[in-house]
Amino acid sequence: MSEKRRYTFGAATGVGSLPGEDAQEAAKTAVGSFETFAFLPELPARGPGADMIGRTAGLLVEMYARVEPSGWRLGDRPGRDTRRAHAWLRQDLDALEEHTQGYQGQLKVQAVGPWTLAAALELRNGEAVLSDPGASRDLTGSLAEGLRDHLAALRRRVPGAEIVLQLDEPSLTAVLRGQVRTASGYRTHRAVDRQVVEAALREVIGVHDGPVVVHSCAPDVPFALLRRSGVAAVSFDFSLLTERDDDTIGEAVEDGMRLFAGVVPGTDAPLSDPAGSVMGVRTLWRRLGLRPGLLPEAVTITPACGLAGATPGYARKALAHCVRAATSLADNPE
C-alpha cells in the first residue's frame, strides 16, 4: 500500500464552496462547523476570480488567464482578472488565519485538478487547453508549481494544521470518454489516454507530502484510476453510485483508500434524521462485505457537492447535519 493512502480523516467536512460574499462569515462557518476537519471556503458569488476555475487559474505559475465571453482564456500577461483572483484569495486566507488561531486539526484546501482545468481553460484560438497535449503538459506543470507555493503559504498561516489537498475533477470522466465539446459545440475532443491522465494526476499529487483527495460530483467517478494515481481518498455524490461501482470501491477501500461520501443535499432541501442520511452508506458496506468496524475510519461525511447554490442558513444547517450524521455512523456502524 502506498504511504499516501495511510491516513485517517476527520468524521465530517465541507466540500469547498459556500454561499454569499462575506469572507469572514464563511471562514467562521467553515472552521466553526468542524472541530477537527475545517476547510478553506470558496465564495463564487463574488464573481470572476472567486469561481473555481478563476481561483485556480490565479495560482498558476508563469501562465495567466483572463475572462472572455466564452469563459477563462490563457493570455500573455497578468491582467485585471488575475489580480482580482489574487485579491479574493488573500482575503479568504486572511479570514481563515484569523479564525484558526491555535487550530490543531486537519485543514482542507481545494483547487481544480489538471484535467478539469484543461477542459475549462481556453487557448488563444478559443479551443480548450485539452486539445493540445503540449499545452496540457505545460498547464499541469504550472499548476503543480502554483499549488506547491499555495500549500507553503497555508502552512505558514496555520502552522498547527495538517493540510489536506483536494483536487476538484468534475470533468475527469468526460475527459476520459472524449465527451468534452469543442468550441463550436459540434464535435468533442479526443479521449485522453488513461496513462497520460494518471501521469498528470501523479505529478500534481506529488507536490503535497500530506493526503490528497480528488472530488467529483459527476456520475461514474473513475475510482480504479484514482486509486492507481495514489490519492488518499475520493469525494463524491453518494446518490450517483450504482452497484456496478461496488467492485472498484471495495478494492479501493481494502487497499487503504478512503471515501468522502456526499450524502447531504447541496442545495436547500428537507434534511432527514442523521441516521437516515447514512443508511445508504451502511447498506453499501454490507453489500461489499467489508468489516463494519472499519466504516467510521474509512468514511468521511460531506455534502453531495459545494454549497454555493444554497441559502446561507441552509448551508450552516447542512454542515451541522454532516457532523451529526457522522456521529450516528460512528455510534452504530452495523
Query: Domain map of the chain by residue range?
Result: 3-331
Q: Name every residue whose Cβ is closer than 8 Å to that of residue 294 and which is 6 or more positions away in sequence.
A: 253
Tell me the pLDDT of the chain averaged across its residues.
94
Cα–Cα distance list, 215 to 11, 146, 150, 209, 218 (Å): 17, 19, 19, 18, 9
334 pLDDT more than 80? no
Reduced to 3 states (helix: H, G, I; strand: E, B; else coil), residue 269 is: coil
What pLDDT does residue 6 have?
A: 67
Q: What is the mean pLDDT of residues 251-260?
A: 93
Query: Is residue 145 a contact partner of residue 138, using CB atoms and an 8 Å limit?
Result: no
Rounded Cα–Cα distance for residues 309 and 43 (Å): 10
The two beta strands, 71-75 and 64-68, are antiparallel
Q: Tens digit of pLDDT for each residue in 268-324?
A: 999 989 999 999 999 999 999 998 888 989 999 999 999 999 999 999 999 999 999
Percent of the chain with pLDDT over 90: 89
CATH architecture of 3-331: Alpha-Beta Barrel (3.20)
pTM beyond 0.85: yes
pLDDT band per the 50, 70, 90 thresholds, residue 331: confident
Q: Tens digit of pLDDT for each residue in 205-242?
A: 999 999 999 999 999 999 999 999 999 999 999 999 98
Q: What is the mean pLDDT of residues 68-78?
A: 92
Ramachandran sector of residue 75 (left: φ over 0; alpha: ψ -120 to 50; beta: rest): beta
What pLDDT does residue 2 have?
A: 42
